[in-house]
Chain A
Amino acid sequence: MSETLKVTTGRKDDVAVVYTEGYINNQGGEEIARVAGDLISAGERKLLLNLGGTKIVNSIGISILIEIIEKMLEIDGRLAFCNLTPTIEKTFHIMGLTQYATIFESEDGAVRELAG
């Protein structure tokens, strides 16, 4: 697995989807924050982070994801995650991310819920 996180974006209905591939650590988290910041500045209010290409996340990456969630809360936006490995999903639950961001199994299910 590559050390550097790759981030790409897409759109489904009115949901901006951010795809990650690789390690969500300090560098990876900053990259996600940068992309999410650009999307928010462009007026996006529904973000879906599809972590299907990510097997590993560390505490720095989690703290950055929490900051993105806080930023979304400030603008009354919604943020959700999908395609998490069982380990990452469990970590997000323990770290409290699921209090403010919903986790979906699939991208389609998440888009249906967010777009509705």
Chain B
Amino acid sequence: MSDSSSGHDWAELAELAHQEHGDRALAQGLLEAWRREQGTAAAALYVSSDSGFERTLTSGSGSFPERLPRDTSEGIALPGARLLAVGTIDRAPVGPLRVALVAALEIHRLRRRLKEQRFTHNYRGVELEALYDVGLAIASTLDLDELAEGVLLRAVSLLDARRGALYLRDGEGNFRLDHTFGGDALAVLPVGDPRLAAVLSGEPDAEADVLPGTHHHLAVAVEVDGDPRGLLVVGDKESRTGVGPFGERDRRTLGLFANQAAIALENARLHRQALEKERLERELDLAADIQKRFLPTSLPETGRFEVLGWNRPARHVGGDYYDVRRLQDDRLVVVIADVAGKGMPAALLVSTLHSALRLLETPEGLAPEMIARLNQHVTEASASNKFITLLLAEIDLVGGGVRYVNAGHNAALLVRDGGGVETLGSTGLPLGLFAGSSYRVEGTSLSAGDLLCLFSDGLTECESPAGEEFGEGRLAALVREHARRPLAEIVREIDRVTTGFSEGAPQADDQTLVFVRCTDEPSRG
């Protein structure tokens, strides 16, 4: 390089150095100057990288490879860089040109480091913002699903993870997978599972089974007041060159994030619980309404027989049913039933029973086959854990004969005029338990002064504060004692005594009574 050309180059470089992105422009200017000095058609500047040397600048027209291996002997070595040119290269940049070139490269490195530091600094801002956002969500997001997904996505992105999973503790204490990202995760970590304890206590690699297929994991408990309510797990931390392990700083970041998320998730969980309770209340009210519609609003005229039906549902615990119908051929059908379960499923089963009883009525009267068919129908229509106890009695209003089937219901009481008490006990299994159940039809008769009492277990199973049941014996004695009084008074008396027995405790189950009294001697023809 001659002195005259050097003066020209420095003037040009000084101008370039003031431009935007000056380091690159400066290096470019230096490269141009060197190429001209060398008299070559093209030149390239390679900067040292992890894998060797990378082409960063070219000058003139010529083709150069993108990368050079670390041990290359091509070109001219500079500190942290190499110079290549097309054609013969006489010498490396000398004197001020070389100093300027090395300085430009250093500036370039410093600027890159500054850029990386600025990036890292800004990303700390993103982390803080994420914590702040989760804090805001405590007050604003009450949708648990939306919040849980948001929490998991934020955790995965904040930690530069490739995979993630959020577990929430269920009613039994198990940690159940709520949301997953990027692949499958273990469905549940049961309470008592040693893996769960290991993960919660932060044992190294304890999370390995949670995100199958990942190589590096990090898990933190989502705690409210020191009580773990969930688990945040992330897998495989990304970098530009692949995936690697999470560091201590990652654990702190995820821990802070989980603490914030815990409050928001707990808030949303409580909100969902309240909504669910409200929905359940509405459903139970509706179910109670439906069920009430199947109870008779008036009772038929029965000549020499007095009939009274009484039902008091327990709030939200449905299932009792009764019906009294007079058929055209002077038969009176009296039914009492108790559906296991509560809410809408029980109400729908009552509806099924109500319609099936009417459909199965035949002029021939009560027969075992009819109840067997009813049982078949109920079995098919109900869930496996639902069943109905039923007592159906068919009373001949002329002759006083009684034919009945008792499918697992409480034995009805028959208080004779003389004071004796008989029972109409079980003649088969409850409806809906087994499809092939068979039933017997039994018989008895009613004479003047006899009182038939059908009841549900809501009366006999009402409890004293000490937990003692009222029992069938007490009820039988009560009915017997008041058997000659008007039916409405007997009902009132039973209500008074049972309510007194339970000392005002809330009624736990439906209570139903159906009385049939023969007031005059029937004609036995």
Which positions in A face B, CB cutoff 8 Å? 1, 3, 23, 25-26, 55-60, 62-63, 66, 87, 90-91, 94-96
Given A3-B182, A26-B238: A56 and B129 interface contact (C-beta under 8 Å): no
Are A55's CB and B156's CB within 8 A? no
Are B126's CB and A95's CB within 8 A? yes
Given A3-B182, A23-B182, A26-B239: A56 and B157 interface contact (C-beta under 8 Å): yes
**Known A25-B160, A56-B157, A60-B240; 4 more pairs at CB < 8 Å:** A58-B160, A60-B238, A87-B153, A95-B119
Are B122's CB and A95's CB within 8 A? yes
| CB-contacts of B121-173 with A (<8 A) | 122-123, 125-126, 129, 133, 150, 153-154, 156-158, 160-163
Chain B contact patch, size range? 20 to 34
Are A60's CB and B119's CB within 8 A? no
26 CB contacts below 8 A, A to B, read: A1-B182, A3-B162, A3-B163, A3-B183, A26-B239, A56-B181, A58-B156, A58-B158, A58-B160, A58-B161, A59-B160, A60-B238, A62-B123, A63-B240, A87-B133, A87-B153, A87-B154, A90-B129, A91-B129, A94-B122, A95-B122, A95-B123, A95-B125, A95-B126, A96-B118, A96-B122
Query: Which residue on chain B has the smallest CB distance to residue A22?
Result: B182
Chain B, 215-242, contact with A by CB distance < 8 Å: what is the 0/1 string? 0000000000000000000000011100
CA A95 – CA B115 in complex, angstroms? 11
Contacts of A66 in B (CB 8 A): 119
Contacts of A3 in B (CB 8 A): 162-163, 181-183
Contacts of B240 in A (CB 8 A): 26, 60, 63
Secondary structure call for the B interface: helix
9 tightest A-B contacts by CB?
Answer: A3-B182, A94-B125, A58-B157, A58-B160, A56-B153, A26-B238, A95-B122, A56-B157, A59-B123
Query: Which residue on chain B has the smallest CB distance to residue A30?
Result: B240
Query: Which residue on chain A has the smallest CB distance to residue B160?
Result: A58
Contacts of A23 in B (CB 8 A): 156, 182
Are A94's CB and B129's CB within 8 A? yes
Are A25's CB and B126's CB within 8 A? no
Query: Which residue on chain B has the smallest CB distance to residue A92?
Result: B126
Contacts of B183 in A (CB 8 A): 3
Are A58's CB and B238's CB within 8 A? yes
Contacts of A90 in B (CB 8 A): 129, 133
Of B118, B158, B163, B239, the residue contacting A60 (CB under 8 A) is: B239
Contacts of B122 in A (CB 8 A): 94-96
CA A58 – CA B239 in complex, angstroms? 10
Of B126, B157, B160, the residue contacting A94 (CB under 8 A) is: B126
CA A94 – CA B158 in complex, angstroms? 14
Contacts of A96 in B (CB 8 A): 118, 122
Query: Which residue on chain A has the smallest CB distance to residue B158?
Result: A58
CA A66 – CA B118 in complex, angstroms? 12
Chain B, 294-326, contact with A by CB distance < 8 Å: what is the 0/1 string? 000000000000000000000000000000000
Most buried by A among B126, B129, B133, B161: B126
CA A56 – CA B160 in complex, angstroms? 10
CA A82 – CA B503 in complex, angstroms? 69
Q: How far is the CB of A38 from chain B (nearest CB, A)?
A: 17
Contacts of B238 in A (CB 8 A): 25-26, 58, 60
Are B129's CB and A57's CB within 8 A? no
Contacts of B118 in A (CB 8 A): 96
Are A25's CB and B162's CB within 8 A? yes
| CB-contacts of B99-120 with A (<8 A) | 118-119
Contacts of A56 in B (CB 8 A): 153, 156-157, 181
